C-alpha cells in the first residue's frame, strides 16, 4: 500500500481538481488549543498527499477505515479487493495526469472504481500510519481539515502556521515516545528478570554463562554451525505473554541468514544446535534488541523462540 501512495503522490503534478459540488466553503469551527491545531495540521498534510486520488474516494468510508485502524480492527476490505482497487486507482490517477496508464495500451480508458472501496483501502493505510500518534490527535478535527483542504476551501491554518505546528508537534511526539519507551524498558526488564529466575528451575531448561536459556525439543544428529556460517531455519517468535511477533511461515517458508547478522541470543543459541534439532530459546532483553527495541518489540523485552535448524549453507 505504501508503494501505491508513493505512486499516487508522484502523479500529483497535474492532478484533477475536486468537483465544485463537493467543496466546503471554509471551516467555521475555531481551533481551541494545541491538540486541535496539531490535528488540523495533520489533516492538511494528509489531504495534500491524497489529492490526486480524492476524486475517486468516498470520505465517509475513508474515515471509517481510519477509525477502524485506530481501534486495531481487521481490514474492512479483502486482500483481493484491495489489490484490484489499488491497481485500478493507480491507472485512473495516471490517466488524469496525462501519463501512460500502467498495464494499458496508449489511449485506453482507465477502469472504473468503487469509491467506497477506495476509501477503505486508502483509509486503512493512513490509519496505520497515524496509529502511533492517535492519542495525540482528534480524528474529527483531522477530517475537518482534510475535507476543507481537498475542497479548496479556506483553512484555519496558513501554510506557515502549519509548518511551525508540525515542528513543535514532531518534537512533542518524540519526547512522549521516548518517555514511554523508557517506562516500557524498565517494566520489561523487571518482568523478564522475574520470569527467567523462575524458568531456570524448570526441568529441561539449561542456562548459558551469558544468561541465554534453552530447552531441547528435538535433538539433531548433524554438524553444528559456526557463528560465521549461514543457516536455513524454521522459527516462531513470541513475547512472554505468548503473542506471536514473527514466524518463518508468515514469510513464505524457511528463513536463511548469517549467524553474525542476527541478535546475539540467536548467534549463540543456533551455534549450539546440530542440524535437524529443534530448540526453544528464552532470550533476555540484553541478548535481543536491548534498550532500543525495534518497530514491533518494546525495549528490554525477553523473547521466546522455537527454532528448527534445517541446514548449514
Q: Among residues 263, 286, 306, 311, which one is catalytic?
A: 263
C-alpha cell at 23: 467543496
C-alpha cell at 113: 472504481
Is 289 designated active site? Answer: yes
Is 311 designated active site? Answer: no
Is 312 designated active site? Answer: no
Residue 244: beta bridge partners? 238
Is residue 143 within 8 A of residue 84, CB to CB? The reply is no
Q: Among residues 58, 246, 286, 311, which one is catalytic?
A: 246
Is 245 designated active site? Answer: yes
Q: What sign does the dihedral 255-258-261-266 (CA atoms) show?
A: positive
Is 305 designated active site? Answer: yes
Q: Among residues 8, 279, 289, 297, which one is catalytic?
A: 289
In the chain, beta strands by DSSP E: 206-207, 213-218, 230-239, 244-247, 255-258, 278-283, 303-312
What is the spatial distance between Cα 27 and Cα 155, in angstroms, rounded to a whole number? 6
Is 114 designated active site? Answer: no
Q: Among residues 62, 235, 279, 281, which one is catalytic?
A: 235
List, in order, residues 6 or more apart from 137 with CB less than 8 Å away.
35, 38, 39, 42, 130
Q: Among residues 70, 114, 195, 245, which one is catalytic?
A: 245
Residue 305: beta bridge partners? 237, 281
Among all chains, which residue has been given the C-alpha cell 548433524? 222
Instruction: Write 102-109 long-range contacts (CB < 8 A, 24+).
Output: none
Give SS3 for 209: coil
What is the spatial distance between Cα 102 and Cα 82, in angstroms, rounded to a whole number? 17
What is the spatial distance between Cα 175 and Cα 172, in angstroms, rounded to a whole number? 5
Residue 67: beta bridge partners? none
Residue numbers annotated as active site = 235, 245-246, 263, 289, 305
Amino acid at each position: 500500500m505504501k508503494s501505491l501512495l508513493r505512486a499516487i503522490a508522484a502523479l500529483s503534478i497535474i492532478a484533477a481538481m475536486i468537483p465544485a459540488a463537493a467543496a466546503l466553503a471554509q471551516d467555521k469551527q475555531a481551533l481551541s488549543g494545541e491538540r486541535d491545531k496539531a490535528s488540523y495540521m495533520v489533516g492538511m498534510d494528509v489531504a495534500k498527499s491524497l489529492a490526486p486520488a480524492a476524486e475517486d474516494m468516498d470520505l465517509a468510508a475513508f474515515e471509517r477505515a481510519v477509525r477502524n485502524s485506530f481501534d486495531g480492527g481487521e481490514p474492512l476490505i479483502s486482500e483481493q479487493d484491495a489489490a484490484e482497487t489499488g491497481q485500478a486507482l493507480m491507472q485512473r490517477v495516471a490517466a488524469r495526469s496525462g501519463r501512460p496508464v500502467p498495464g494499458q495500451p496508449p489511449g485506453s480508458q482507465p477502469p472504473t472504481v468503487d469509491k467506497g472501496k477506495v476509501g477503505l483501502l486508502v483509509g486503512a493505510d493512513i490509519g496505520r500510519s497515524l496509529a502511533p500518534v492517535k492519542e495525540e490527535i482528534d480524528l474529527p478535527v483531522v477530517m475537518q481539515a482534510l475535507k476543507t483542504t481537498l475542497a479548496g476551501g479556506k483553512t484555519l491554518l496558513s501554510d506557515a502556521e502549519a509548518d511551525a505546528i508540525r515542528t513543535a508537534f514532531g518534537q512533542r511526539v518524540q519526547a512522549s515516545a521516548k518517555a514511554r519507551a523508557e517506562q516500557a524498558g524498565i517494566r520489561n526488564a523487571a518482568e523478564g528478570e522475574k520470569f527467567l529466575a523462575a524458568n531456570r528451575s524448570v526441568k529441561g531448561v539449561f542456562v548459558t554463562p551469558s544468561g541465554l536459556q534453552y530447552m531441547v525439543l528435538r535433538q539433531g544428529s548433524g554438524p553444528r554451525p559456526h557463528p560465521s556460517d549461514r543457516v536455513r531455519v524454521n522459527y516462531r517468535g513470541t513475547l512472554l505473554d505468548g503473542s506471536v511477533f514473527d514466524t518463518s511461515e508468515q514469510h513464505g517458508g524457511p528463513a536463511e541468514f548469517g549467524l553474525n547478522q542476527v541478535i546475539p541470543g540467536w548467534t549463540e543459541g543456533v551455534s549450539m544446535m546440530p542440524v535437524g534439532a529443534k530448540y526453544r530459546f528464552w532470550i533476555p532483553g540484553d541478548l535481543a534488541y536491548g534498550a532500543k527495541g525495534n518497530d514491533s518489540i518494546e525495549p528490554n523485552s525477553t523473547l521466546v523462540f522455537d527454532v528448527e535448524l534445517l541446514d548449514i549453507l
